[in-house]
Structure 1
Amino acid sequence: MQWKECFDLQPPRYRRDGAGSFGVQSPELVFAALGLKTGNCFLDAGCGPGEYALLAAAWVGASGRVIGLDHDARMIEQLRQASQAADCPNIASLIADLGAPLPLAASSIDAVLISGVLHMPGLDEHWGVLFPELYRALRPNGRLGIIESPKPAATPDLPLHLRLTPTTIAAEIKPYGFQQVGLTKLSSRELVLFTKG
């Protein structure tokens, strides 16, 4: 199945480029920025119901692998059901907390996406665990993409004080070995792109 067909199978509330913590933001731009290719292993960290995971499964093809990871068992169950309905056997669904050691092998992931998650209250207290874990799991030259709302964006779903600027994100995760290599404007969000240094 092609990734656009997977996109069309998703519930309408996920098929958008507008505001909202859930909702796919320009998947072609996101996957291209991440350098995602057929045969890659993609991690959707804090995947929620797995919108990006489902699209990435078709993008990386049958020879690739997608891991959807979330702490909420209900979200993981939604992803499991959706991946079965979309006949995407290359998706693994894992219940795990982003603030704890991750159940991922070292140097096993080509690209990681964290979309609309990093601003969650209290998660910043665990960045000292999260980013070293992602660094460990990424292959050499692996990519990390973080989608967040910029400070001036007029998105009604996220209070201004919770928004993270690309500069803030880059400064906070640089000590863990990540180097910022790009910034892509999406409709109401920004994708900050890093590589494993």
Structure 2
Amino acid sequence: MAIEMEVKFRMTADTWAAIKADYDGEHALHHIERQTNQYYDTSDRRLGAKEIGLRLRVLEDRSILAVKRSTDEAHKRIEIEETYTDAPDRLPPESPALQALLGELGIQYDDIAPLVMLRTERFIYEIEEQGVKAEVCFDDVSIVGRCREHKLYEIEFELLSGREERLYQIVQAFKNQYGTTVEESSIPKLVYALNLVNCE
């Protein structure tokens, strides 16, 4: 179990592209990930009611199952991850993290169903300076719902190691530079996506 610390900003497509051009001029692109992120819940949203996110991220060479829980701090979440090198495209029933979650909540595996899918092209830059190592991820996201699809453009600063205070300084400099063209948000992608694709 780990504590994930990240600060997210959402913006328009044009602003995202302009800031990415700035980053391309100042930093080397570390790598690009193309992801399919499938979120799951029960039909009565028992996970969502407890602010738990259950996600399977499918990449080209692996899949990552993640269980995320909220904390009292806006930019921190408890996260359990399991990596599968055979890249399954559905929740692995033998997953220890999944079985522990189902047991805790009294839910059967067959009660869990796909909720919403996000397809993401992620451009990842790494920053390593003054006692901190962080990823800056530029996400071009397509949110796929039952009745329509939406776009989301996000930049995420995630602490990999080092001092939290230094990451906040980097984030503050970013906010000072781009001002009102970016919107800081502590709302998880799942919650944001559900608000967009809810067509009931």
TM-score, structure 1 normalization: 0.28
TM-score, structure 2 normalization: 0.28
